[in-house]
Structure 1
Amino acid sequence: MIAASVATPAAAQDRPASPPAESSGDIVIEGKRLDERSIVGASPPLAVLDAAALQALGTTSLAEMLKKLQSLTRSSSGEPSIFLLNGRRISGFEEMQDIPQEAIEKFELLSEADATRFGYPPTRRVANIITKRHFRSLELEQQSNATTEGGGTGIMTRAAVTRLDGPGRLTLGVRGERRLAITEAQRDLDPLPGLTSRSIAAASRTIRGNAAWAVALGRTISLSVSGSAERQADLSLLGVAIGSPDPARQRSVIGTTTGGVAVSGALGDWTWNGTASATNLISTVTSLGGDPSRAFRTRSTTRTLATKLVANGPLVHLPAGDATLVVALDGDDSRSRRAGSSGDAARIFGRRTGAATVTASLPVTSVREDVLPMLGDVTATATGGIGHVTGGGTYPRVAATLGWQPLRAVRVGATIDRKQTPPSVNQLFDPVRSFPNVPYFDNLTGQTVLVDVIGGGNARLAPERQRRNAVDLTLKPFAKRELTLALTYATTDIIDQAISVSQPTLRVEAAFPALFTRDNNGRLLSVDSRPVNLARERRRELTANLFWAGPLGPQPAPPAPPSAGAPPPTRPPREPFFLFANVSPTLRLADRLVLADGQPALDLLDGDAFGGNGGQPRFEGNVYTSLSRGGIAGGFDLQWRAGTRVRSDLAAADLRFDSLVTVGAYLIAPLAKITGGQHWGKAVHIALNARNLFNERQRVRDRDGVTPIGFRPAYLDPFGRSVMVTLRSLF
């Protein structure tokens, strides 16, 4: 969602610059002071955004900003970024999610190769948010949104307080949100035989509170503490069966509380950081109404304690520079308790994990140190680690990267990564529950039927093993302009991948017959969607990311100081337009999946499918652009997904999924621009946002041109086009 982007109010403005000192005839040597909050090292960053570039995004909170930058911050492996705040690791996103964008001074994004500096594998990018040193604000926000076809109306109210004072930080936030359901009748969908009054998007209510506090303990040590609590309740209409007077409903309530602490400091040339977090999640699912014989209630409680300690510093001085060492220790302890209404005793599960990794980075050549300068800068990094899971044995982690920067504007990197990952606690221990009357397309018969879908965890999952090799090229042709082109070619092999089966094709059902239940006539009755291990998958893909942020045209010269007695200038120089643009396409060259040993491979790019929405698209991409000036910003985002095909000898199951292009647009402005500059409107801002502007939905047709019931456009995207209006005040 997009909210208004505004100019910082007077209470949040930086202090004015001091007047220039009179010349004394002395020689003054000026130097640029290094910002200790910056993490930019020897290799060029992928992006550095200042306040003007961030304002062009048209967002107001850090969470919204990162959502708009997701295609830029997400690595080529698909993993999310590592987030730092003022150059330091944090215990969780709760520490910074309520910081308004006006408080952000700069945003830095580093490549995957830099992740090893912070104790992470070289498969994730590093994002650093630098805040203003002094900032105070009270933020009030109100959103209203609705779909243009009816249903799904929602409102959101939010309030937040931010106090920044050097290393000290305090943020408080509360948010409440409500959304109405969307039913089949509101989308003119004929109910499935034997069933009426069904929702295709659940009604929901969410309330969340968050607090974070940070303080400096001396000159080198800092401490931060955060906590949050959230409650989300969803209500789904499962339909009224013929002959039943009471509609079946399902209520899901999830309560989550989290707490975290982070401590960081320095000891000589070494820096260290420790984080700890605790999470308590309570999930309750209850069936209401409908057939009393199928009533159920499940409740699960999961408690997790996670810790991580990282230390890094110089190891030895080499001719090309300092060799550095990073040591990381982390572990977590999870306990899960689940109980149902079937009379079975409550079951308790527990798991502990621990891991240790060591990363060494060695400079091989250096232009600055005059070591083989004709080769540019070459750096080699190696990571080795081992982890242990109670009841699951040990698992290794090995990675190596080689970075070469022959020119200032060119960087080439190569990465080899080998890892083994145990299943998550949710994948193992989530309570087993049944979802009745779910429309399901059966590829074996070409019909859409109502089935019972079984969800939950699978305690027999094996750990996932992954091998990834990647080569990347980064070009930054201009030293003083923010233009970056990044290309990555990667091959990925995944063994024992844990995933939920959702497409009963002939090959899928042959590999996992126990997951599908049919009657004597072959009619599908139930599908077990609990995760299972797939034998192996091999992918090859090419990703690109083009990024630009900067003013259009020359910057106006600063006005000269007025001479004594001269009248003040009539108006300040006009600001230029500021453009932000990001294009991120992905081309999949190969994607072959073997479901079980002894079975032929599925070609997910050429007619085979595993998921419920067809095969893998060979091409998909995202374009985001925004233009701003004087506090007013507007732009659009475009997502394109190529069409896919699911081949079958049965005409009703031989499906074509058309390509899909969706466009969103937004416009934001201070209310003072609309009301003519009244004082009361300067801190109030308005935003208009449209999602799926042209109301495009996925089109699916079989060989005869018929759309199966389960693939009707409104089932695939219940919301369609939606609009949102936001009013926001910053005091």
Structure 2
Amino acid sequence: MNRKMALLCVVGCITPSLLHAQERTPAAPRPGSAPPPAAAQPEGENEVEALVVTGQRQYGAVLGDITPEETFNAADVRALGVSSITDLLAELSPQTTSGRGGSPVVLLNGRRISGMGEIRDIPTEAIQRVEVLPEEVALKYGYSAEQKVVNIVLRQRFRANTAELGMAGPTEGGQTTEQLDVSSLRLNRDGRLNLAAKVQHSDELLESDRDLVSRSPAGGEGSPYRSLLPRNDQVSVNAVLNRVLKNGVSATVNGSAGYTESNSLLGETRIRSDLDGLEQNSRDLTGHFGFTLDKQTDKLRWSLTGNYDHTDSRTLTDRDIVATATVSSTDRAHSISDTANLQLVANGALARLPAGDLSATVKLGAEGSWLDASSWRGGVKSGNDPSRTSGNAQISLDLPITSRKNDFLAAAGDLSVNLNLAANHLSDFGTLTTVGYGATWSPVKPVSFIVSMTQQETAPTMSQLGGPMVYTPDVRVFDFVKGETVNVIRVSGGNPDLKAEEKRVLKLGVTFKPTSINGLSLNANYFRTRIDDPISGFPAVTAETEAAFPDRFTRVNGQLVRLDARSVNLARQESDQVRWGINFTRQIGKTPPRPTFPPGQAPWERNRGEGRREPSGQAVPGAATTPSTSAPNQQAQASDQPQGLNLLQGAQSPGGGERPGPAAGPSAPGGGDRGFGGPGGFRGGPGGFGGGFGPPGGGAARLQLALYHTIHLRERVYLDAGAQPLDLLNGDALNSGGGQPKHEIEAQAGVTKNGLGARLTASWQSATEVNAGPGNPSGALRFSDVTTVNLRLFANLSAQRDLVAAHPFLRGTRVTLALTNLFDEKPKVRDANGATPINYQPDYLDPLGRSLKLSVRKVFF
């Protein structure tokens, strides 16, 4: 690993010098034009978005009047030190986690997308702001109200090619992961083009790489023929094209393909002589195509999205038997799945009321799923080919009751109510319905309340119903009934007997953003969830589970030898929880003054070519660099090229500022945006790339703090109708990882200055205990509390003016060093005698432990 790390450092230093970023000079100035007065810079801020005309909606804002829980501007996003939207969503997981359990809905510029493939590879430098909104906003876009909404607003103009090389591995050794990501983005008022490719390889991690006590032989060392983590290889490509058509419709197409292969060692063979160890190999080939058509007018916004997904999966599992003419020594499982869907969503005002518009969102959709699954075990083939078609419809109505803006019962603040209805007719489950209603109220501007109730029926997925049967030998599980670790044949795949589940969720929420403390927000939510017939992975091996599902267990002389771990329907699940959080982000100190230079001596005026070209590519007469054409008081000619890009490519305006652009309004959101060239932008703003010629210090420091605390008040599960409930907070467990921790805390802290950044994230969960079975001699198992701390350090070398001046190829380069699980904290499990069961050794629960990742990223503008 050390040799590979050294190689990465060398490659990271050499690669940028081998690649060439095209320099684009600014357009010729207009003769006789005088510079407009510079806009005043707000004190304490170093990022200015597009100017917005008072009384008009902010560019990229979502539908409705619900206030975002959190808003991150471009400087905040840069301060996170992440590379793409995928990384951004992972970093903002505490802010986007919903108590209802759904993954966040992602919008782009306040509009629907066909899927994450449209935006996942967009670099964070292209982001103007990010908004996190409550679950109720999802209804306005045709989604269910069980997911928070993340609205990502892009800059109007941006152009960059990126390459990132990374290497990671645990400090204890045993596994190394290498990754290469390359992408290209062209973003302007005509649309965008995004191309990306990723390659990743991970070595396998073996039991012999860790200090483990083996079960066989008893007390022996870990086996070199058993994997803790598989070898894994991944390759993916993604392409997105967006164009604005003549009729004002925004059209987007997205295509992607991926290949994944993993290989695991299952243990040493005892019978076969042709192998040292048994293996399981899995291969997945995926393809995706999606499109979005979207148009917005003063009265109506509509979107049509479509997706088609294809997956081909194969699994080969060695058996420890001697093959014969009729019996194979390798089990095979193969599945081909195809899914297609089409959704039309329209939103508009039905009537004008004193408090505002009565608005409606209507969604009509159709979907089809087809699965062909088969498996071969011992020469015997089994399989099924289920299919499903469905048609769905949804309507959501928003009725304003009072309004400060429209001066109707203004003393009561802003109050609106919502009603939403949905029906989904499935060919194999009949008609499933969803009913929801709620209200939002803001008595005064800093405070808003939300209350909502949702009742929803959900069918199991096609893979849960008809996935191929896979038999994996020598899987280690802990038998809570006997208090021992055993090796079993584990059966996985689809369960055709699954039923639809019915969920009811009550939410009470409050958000507070004090006007006296800029950048501070507080929110708290209470969720009460009740689910009938919940679909669940197979529970832990306890006496209660065996009593509820006896046919899933096979024992020989009392010892568990086979476990059917396919999904099941439980009888009922009850959950009450409170989740509250605090976010604080702001600039600390004032932005340092920008340097001034004599005419013709500014860094952006050095080493220029003999001629300039306009955006059309035509040469500009008299464009040679002379004091008359490059004087600081000349105004740049407008072009489609982003202002921040001009700055990065040598077109910075004197004094470190940006060249003035056209006035910006809602129709031209990026026209006057300071963008990347604004104070503290690429010349060294917090987390920014920097053009290398910014003011000393590169901008003021920026601080970000976040704290989220989830308190589980009630977590009960009924495995079977009439059975006693399992209290997951008091001695019972639904999975082998223990009970439900009563408290879970997530914390984040970050600071950036002069392109140097540090981010610390931490999570903590309280201890749990699992009661022993009636005949268990080892007693109850206690799972310790766990604290995990991660540290990420990054340096945007562009912000180091002297360094970039001496080594220009370092412009746009960022180096990141990340430590995951900084203190190598691992769960500790003890029984009543103080012993640790074999299956709960710390290196089994967390094989990687503390890991280190070094990455070098280069942006070519």
Offset at residue 43 of structure 1 (A): 2.8
Partner of 2:264: 236
CA shift for structure 1 position 502 = 3.7
* C-alpha distance in structure 2 between counterparts of 1:568 and 1:430, whole Å: 64
Give the distance between the partners of 1:340 and 1:12, measured in 2 at CA.
58
Check if 1:301 corresponds to 2:339.
no
Could you tell me which residue of structure 1 aligns to residue 648 of structure 2?
none
The question of 1:722 aligning with 2:851 is answered yes
For residues 178 and 345 of structure 1, the distance between their equivalents in structure 2, rounded to whole angstroms, comes to 33
Matched residue type, 1:613: G
Percent sequence identity over aligned pairs:
31
Gap runs ≥5 in structure 2: 1-8, 39-50, 324-328, 600-630, 634-653, 657-692
1:204 to 228, 232, 235: 232
- What is the CA–CA distance in structure 2 between the aligned matches of 1:612 and 1:571, rounded to whole Å? 55
Report the counterpart of residue 26 of structure 1 in structure 2. none
Match of 1:622 in 2: 746
Partner amino acid, structure 2, of 1:192 = R
RMSD, aligned α-carbons: 2.8
Residue 518 of structure 2, aligned match among 459, 472, 481? 481
| Distance of 2:62 and 2:28 partners within structure 1 | 27
2:580 alignment partner in structure 1: 544
Determine the C-alpha separation between the residues in 1 that align with 2:834 and 2:53. Answer: 70
- Offset from partner CA, 1:104-153 (integer Å, 9 cap, x none): 11112222222221112233222111111111111111101111111121
Q: Following the alignment from structure 1 to structure 2, what is the Cα–Cα distance between the partners of residues 480 and 188?
A: 51
Contact 1:184/1:190 (8 A) holds in 2: no
Aligned mate of 1:396, from 433, 436, 448: 433
- Segment of structure 1 superposing worse, 53-62 or 109-118: 109-118
Give SS of 1:509's match: helix
Deviations 1:597-627 (A, max 9, x none): 1100111000011111111000112111211
Pair 105,19 (structure 1): closer, same or farther in 2 beyond 3 Å: farther
Counterpart of 1:414 (choices 442, 451, 458) is 451
Per-residue CA deviation, residues 437-493 of structure 1 (Å, 9 max, x unaligned), is 011111111111110110001111000100011100100112883321110011100
Using structure 2 for the length normalisation, give the TM-score.
0.80
Contact 2:287 2:309 in 1 (8 A): yes
Deviates more, 1:287-296 or 1:11-20: 11-20
* Match status 1:659 vs 2:793: no
Alignment of 1:571-590 (within 5 A): 572=695, 574=697, 575-590=699-714
- CA deviation profile, 1:130-179 (whole Å, cap 9, x unmatched): 11111111111110111111112110011111111114110111110000
Report the CA distance shift for 1:674/1:614 in structure 2 as closer, same or farther (over 3 A). Answer: farther
- Residues 60-88 of structure 1, C-alpha deviation per residue, up to 9 Å, x if partnerless? 21111111011112222121111111222
Q: State the TM-score, normalizing by the size of structure 1.
A: 0.93
Q: How far is the alpha carbon of 1:684 from its aligned partner?
A: 2.3
Q: Give the SS at the match of 1:296.
A: strand
* Structure number with higher relative contact order (C-alpha < 8 Å, ≥ 6 residues apart): 2
Residues 392-427 of structure 1: CA deviation (Å, up to 9, x unaligned)? 111110001111100000001101000000001111
Contact in 2 for aligned 1:230/1:255 (Cα 8 Å): yes
SS at match of 2:843: helix
| 2:476 is aligned with 1:347 | no
1:188, distance to aligned residue in structure 2 (A): 2.1
* 1:690 and 2:726 aligned: no
- The answer as to 2:139 corresponding to 1:116 is yes
Does the 8 Å CA contact 1:248/1:291 hold for their aligned counterparts?
no
Query: How far off its partner does 1:555 sit?
Result: 4.9
1:427 matched residue in structure 2: 464
Alignment partners' CA distance in 2, 1:356 and 1:591: 33
Q: Could you tell me which of 599, 609, 613 is aligned with 2:737? A: 613
Structure 2 counterpart of 1:274: 304
1:21 aligns with 2:11: no
Cα-to-partner distance string for 1:299-348 (whole Å, 9 max, x where unaligned): 10000001211101001111111100110112210000012224436531
Whether the 8 Å contact between 2:60 and 2:110 is mirrored in structure 1 is yes
Q: Which residue of 1 aligns with 2:831?
A: 702
Structure 2 counterpart SS, 1:340: strand
For the residues of structure 2 that align with 1:142 and 1:704, how far apart are their CA atoms? Answer: 48
**SS class of match (2:745):** strand
Deviation at 1:561, TM superposition (A): 11
Give the match's secondary structure for 1:676. Answer: helix
| SS of alignment partner, residue 533 of structure 2 | strand
User: Structure 1 residue 185: deviation in Å?
Assistant: 0.6
Post-superposition shift, 1:581? 2.0
Q: Report which of the two structures shows the higher radius of gyration computed on alpha carbons.
A: 2
The 5 Å alignment of 1:171-186 reads 171-186=194-209
Say if 2:766 is the partner of 1:642: yes
Moved more, 416-425 or 86-95: 86-95
Residue 497 of structure 1 corresponds to 534
Distance in 2, Cα, partners of 1:571 & 1:286: 58
1:91 maps onto 2:91 in alignment: no
- Distance verdict in 2 for CA 1:565–1:259, change over 3 Å: closer
Does the CA-based 8 Å contact 1:175-1:207 persist in structure 2?
Answer: yes
Letter in 1 for 2:211: D
Of 455-464 and 556-565, the range deviating more from structure 2: 556-565
Give SS of 1:88's match.
Answer: coil
Pick aligned residue for 1:329 from 345, 352, 364: 364
Quote how far apart the aligned CAs of 1:34 are. 4.3
Q: Which residue of 1 aligns with 2:347?
A: 312
1:15 positional shift: 11
2:460 maps to amino acid: P
Contact 2:597 2:655 in 1 (8 A): no
2:567 maps to 531
Structure 1 equivalent of residue 716 of structure 2 = 592
The yes-or-no answer on 1:74 pairing with 2:97 is: yes
CA 1:638 to 1:389, structure 2 compared with 1: closer, same or farther past 3 Å?
A: same
Distance 1:45 1:233, change over 3 A: same
Structure 1 unpaired stretches of 5+: 24-28
- The amino acid of 1:696's aligned partner reads E
Q: Which residue is equivalent to 2:728?
A: 604
Instruction: Work out the CA distance in 1 between the residues paired with 2:152 and 2:73.
Output: 10
Please give the per-residue CA displacement for 1:489-539, whole angstroms capped at 9, x wherever unaligned.
Answer: 1110011111122411111110111111101x2000011110010000111
| Deviation readout 1:16-37 (Å, 9 max, x if unpaired) | 99964379xxxxx994564442
- Relative distance call for 1:319 and 1:476 in structure 2 (3 A) is same
- Inter-partner Cα distance in structure 1 for 2:790 and 2:234: 25
2:498 is aligned, of 446, 451, 461, to: 461
How many angstroms apart in 2 are the aligned matches of 1:14 and 1:133?
18
Mapping of residues 15-54 of structure 1, within 5 Å? 20-21=35-36, 31-32=53-54, 34-39=57-62, 41-54=64-77
Q: Distance in 1 between matches of 2:178 and 2:289?
A: 28
Q: Contact conserved, 2:467 with 2:494, CA < 8 A, in 1? A: yes
AA at the equivalent of 1:202: P
Give the distance between the partners of 2:448 and 2:201, measured in 1 at CA: 48
Q: Distance in 1 between matches of 2:179 and 2:801?
A: 24
Letter in 2 for 1:618: K
What is the 5 A alignment of 1:82-231? 82-193=105-216, 196=223, 197-218=225-246, 220-231=248-259
What CA distance in whole angstroms lies between the structure 2 residues aligned with 1:237 and 1:345? 25
Partners of 2:857 and 2:370 lie apart in 1 by: 41
CA distance change for structure 1 residues 35 and 453 in 2, over 3 Å: closer, same or farther? same
Displacement of 1:562 after TM fit? 9.8
Is 2:553 the counterpart of 1:516? yes
State the distance in 1 between where 2:121 and 2:150 align. Answer: 17
Counterpart contact for 2:595–2:694, Cα < 8 Å: no
Q: Residues 672-692 of structure 1, C-alpha deviation per residue, up to 9 Å, x if partnerless?
A: 649933212123221100111
Q: What letter corresponds to residue 504 of structure 1 in structure 2?
A: V
CA distance in 2, matches of 1:127, 1:13: 36
